C-alpha cells in the first residue's frame, strides 16, 4: 500500500500550484519532503489526477528501450523521463541503461523475480533416467547400468582402503 493517500497528494500539489508555497513548505505541513512534492507536481502536470494514483506495473523490453531512446534523444534527466512516461520510480532508469549497455535488448526483458531454483527439473547428463523400470530397459541398458554400479562399488572399496591406511593411530596411555 502507498504511504500517502491520493487525497493527500492532491492537497499538497494544489498547495504548491497555488503559487504561494515552495516545494518544501507545501509538503512540510504533512511531513513530505521537497523532492517527493517535486515528483508529485511533475507527475500531476504531465498526467493529471491519474499521475497521482497508485500504480503497479511491469514493463516489457520494447517499452524500456523506447523510454531510453526518448531520454537520450531529448537529453532528458531520469526524473523528467519518469514523469513523462508516468514511471513511479525514476531510479530504475539508470539500471535499465546499464543493463542495455551490457547486454542489449535481451537484458531489458522482464527478469524472473524471487529466489532462483536450487534444483533443475531435468536429470544431470551423467545420470541415467530414474523413472524407467528394469522390465522396460533393453539388455544393453541393463549391462551398462550393471557396469556403472560395479565401477562405483570398486571405487568406494578403494576409497575405504585408502582412508583406513591413513587413520590416526591410537596412543597408549603412559603409566606414570
Q: What are the domain boundaries of the chain?
A: 1-54
d(CA 174, CA 6): 85
Mean pLDDT within 81-96: 86
Q: What is the pLDDT of residues 53-71, one digit of tens each?
A: 877 678 888 889 999 999 9
- Where helices occur in 48-111 by DSSP H, the ranges are 61-74, 78-85, 92-103
Mean pLDDT within 87-99: 88
pTM: 0.47
Q: What is the pLDDT of residue 120?
A: 67
- Cα atoms found within 13 Å of the Cα of residue 98, Cβ hemisphere only: 5
Radius of gyration of the chain (CA): 33
Q: What is the pLDDT of residue 175?
A: 72
Q: Is the pLDDT of residue 128 over 60?
A: no
Q: Is the pLDDT of residue 1 over 70?
A: no
Report the first-to-last Cα separation within the chain, whole angstroms.
77
pLDDT confidence tier of residue 29, bands split at 50, 70 and 90: confident
pLDDT confidence tier of residue 170, bands split at 50, 70 and 90: low
Q: How far is CA 98 from the centre of its chain?
A: 15
How many helices (H) and strands (E) in the chain?
7, 0
Q: What is the pLDDT of residue 167?
A: 60
Q: Is the pLDDT of residue 168 over 80?
A: no
Q: Are 70 and 81 contacting, i.e. CB atoms less than 8 angstroms apart?
A: yes
Cell of 100: 542495455
Amino acid at each position: 500500500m502507498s504511504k500517502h493517500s491520493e487525497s493527500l497528494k492532491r492537497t499538497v500539489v494544489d498547495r504548491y500550484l497555488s503559487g504561494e508555497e515552495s516545494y518544501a513548505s507545501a509538503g512540510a505541513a504533512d511531513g513530505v519532503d521537497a523532492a517527493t512534492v517535486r515528483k508529485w507536481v511533475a507527475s500531476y502536470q504531465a498526467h493529471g489526477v491519474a499521475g497521482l494514483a497508485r500504480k503497479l506495473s511491469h514493463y516489457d523490453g520494447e517499452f524500456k528501450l523506447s523510454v531510453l531512446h526518448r531520454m537520450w534523444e531529448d537529453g532528458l534527466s531520469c526524473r523528467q523521463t519518469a514523469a513523462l512516461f508516468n514511471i513511479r520510480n525514476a531510479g530504475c532508469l539508470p539500471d535499465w541503461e546499464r543493463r542495455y549497455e551490457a547486454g542489449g535488448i535481451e537484458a531489458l526483458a522482464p527478469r524472473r523475480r524471487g529466489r532462483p531454483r536450487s534444483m533443475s527439473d531435468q536429470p544431470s547428463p551423467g545420470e541415467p533416467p530414474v523413472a524407467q523400470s528394469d522390465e522396460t530397459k533393453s539388455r544393453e541398458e541393463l549391462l551398462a547400468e550393471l557396469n556403472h554400479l560395479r565401477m562405483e562399488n570398486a571405487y568406494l572399496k578403494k576409497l575405504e582402503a585408502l582412508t583406513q591406511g591413513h587413520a590416526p593411530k591410537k596412543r597408549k596411555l603412559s603409566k606414570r
